[in-house]
Amino acid sequence: DKLHRFLHALPKCEHHVHIEGTISPELLFNLASRNGISLPTDDSAFESPATLQARYDRFTSLDDFLHYYFIGFSVLVGVSDFEALAYDYLSLAYSQKVHHAEIFFDPQAHVSRGVTYQTIIAGLNAAKQRAQRDFPRLSVEFIPCLLRHLPVPSGHGMLTELLETGHFFDGTLVGFGMSSTELEMHPSLYKEVYEAARAAGVANLTAHYGEEGPSDYVKDALTLLSVSRIDHGRRSAEDEELIAQLAETGTMLTLCPISNVVLKGVGSMRELPIRRFLDANVKFSINSDDPAYFGGYILENYCAVQEAFGLSVDDWAKIARGAITGSWCSHARKEQLL
Ligand code: ADE
Ligand code: ZN
């Protein structure tokens, strides 16, 4: 219908997509066989792409999903695997009018399998270069994420090693984030890591909080980690003071509506505080998170929000502008996007 066409035509910024979360069951099985990676034999979900896809429809929580997510991307080995994955994501995103993409990746879970930083970054950069040549209106940035289910020193080590590559300062990596399991992973655990990143000159810091965890995690991430953005952050709506603080500071939440429904954070789309955030002037963007696992890329997320909330054209203009001003790109690039 008309609004669907409007939403499709709306230029978009995506700030919350894990490149490892864009691997389809078909590609997963193809790469496993091509790279000689054995998939679990004691879990019938791994019998075929179809059984794996069927398992994705029954996720019970973030941690239940993460189990499959980490097994799934163990099939990524060579530069060309990372390049193909990222290029395919970028071309699909561009077909949905994504004009600026900031892409997360999980260095620790690759390096621990013997894949080097150079391999990952060479693949991602090749995809970026090819996509920006093929899709001239597209800008692309990459953000490494610390994994919270691994020991803190592992994450700190990853930061140190990436700092040594110089890629935070040569235009390759635009910021630093963290993801994976949330409950009991209080921001205070990562204070030193984030201080080290900031001291080294990494200006753009973010963290996944308020996805499953309480609003206090979001509040504490803002003060203890000095993040300028929160990934998910949906549970911030449970704290009036925090809502006011987010609005006042212009801190952007990178919401992932379909993800929250599929991982059972909410019972339905309507429970998301979209209207609350709009009315309180909390800046947010709408994103896909792990589209191959959750059954929707960015446009499907925009459409699902529209179906649940019946937003106006003015609401969408506000969302689209907020997503541009909240992007980690140059002022000049923002002017182009606006
Ligand atoms: N890694 C990939 N997707 C994630 C999510 N939704 N939350 C936390 N970590 C993730
Ligand atoms: Zn995420």
pLDDT at 205: 98
Q: Give me the catalytic one of 14, 102, 182, 211.
A: 211
Atom of ligand 1 lying closest to residue 182 CA: 8
- The domain of 327 spans 2-337
How confident is the model at residue 2, as a pLDDT? 81
ipTM over 0.85: yes
The alpha carbon of 117 and the centre of ligand 2 are apart by a number of angstroms equal to: 21
Question: Which ligand lies nearest to the CA atom of residue 146 in the structure?
Answer: 1
| Cα 145 to middle of ligand 1, angstroms | 10
Question: Sheet harboring 98-105: ordered strands across?
Answer: 12-18, 98-105, 139-147, 177-179
Q: What is the CATH number of the domain that holds 135?
A: 3.20.20.140
Q: Is 14 in the pocket of ligand 1 (CB under 6 A)?
A: no
Find out whether the beta carbon of 287 lies less than 6 Å from any atom of ligand 1. Answer: no
Whole-number Å distance, alpha carbon 1 to ligand 2 midpoint, is 30
**Per-residue confidence band for 1, with pLDDT thresholds at 50, 70 and 90:** confident
Q: What is the pTM of this model?
A: 0.98
pLDDT tens track for 165-216: 999 999 999 999 999 999 999 999 999 999 999 999 999 999 999 999 999 9
Q: What distance in angstroms lies between residue 2's CA and the mean position of ligand 2's atoms? A: 30
Atom 8 (ligand 1): residue with closest C-alpha? 180
The number of the ligand nearest the C-alpha atom of 105 reads 1
Q: Is 248 a catalytic residue?
A: no
The ligand that comes nearest to the alpha carbon of residue 21 is 1
pLDDT at 29 over 80: yes
Residues annotated within the binding site for Zn(2+) are: 16, 18, 208, 289
Residue nearest to atom 1 of ligand 1 (CA): 180
Total domains in the fold of the chain: 1
Q: Which residue has the tokens 């635009």?
A: 174
Per-residue pLDDT reduced to its tens digit, 80-99: 999 999 999 999 999 999 99
pLDDT digits (tens, 9 = 90+) for 145-163: 999 999 999 999 999 999 9
Instruction: Look up residue 112 and give its amino acid.
Output: S
CA of 179 to the centre of ligand 1 (A): 6
d(CA 38, CA 327): 39
CB atoms within 10 A of CB 77: 18
Q: Identify the pLDDT of residue 291.
A: 98
Residue nearest to atom 9 of ligand 1 (CA): 180
Taking each helix axis from N to C end, the angle separating 215-224 and 240-249, rounded to the nearest 10 degrees, works out to: 40
- Total count of residues recorded for the chain: 338
3-class SS string, the chain: CHHHHHHHHCCEEEEEEEHHHHCCHHHHHHHHHHHCCCCCCCCHHHHCHHHHHHHHCCCCCHHHHHHHHHHHHHHCCCHHHHHHHHHHHHHHHHHCCEEEEEEEECHHHHHCCCCCHHHHHHHHHHHHHHHHHHCCCCEEEEEEEEECCCCHHHHHHHHHHHHHHCCCCCCCECCEEEECCCCCCCHHHHHHHHHHHHHCCCCCEEEEECCCCCHHHHHHHHHHCCCCEEEECHHHHHCHHHHHHHHHHCCEEEECHHHHHHCCCCCCHHHCCHHHHHHCCCCEEECCECHHHHCCCHHHHHHHHHHHHCCCHHHHHHHHHHHHHCCCCCHHHHHHHC
Q: Residue 211: CB within 6 Å of ligand 1?
A: yes
Rounded average pLDDT over 270-296: 98
Can you say which residues are annotated as belonging to the binding site for substrate?
290
pLDDT bin (cut points 50, 70, 90) of residue 3 is confident
Mutation to probe ligand 1, out of 290, 293, 294 (largest number of atoms < 8 A from CB)? 290
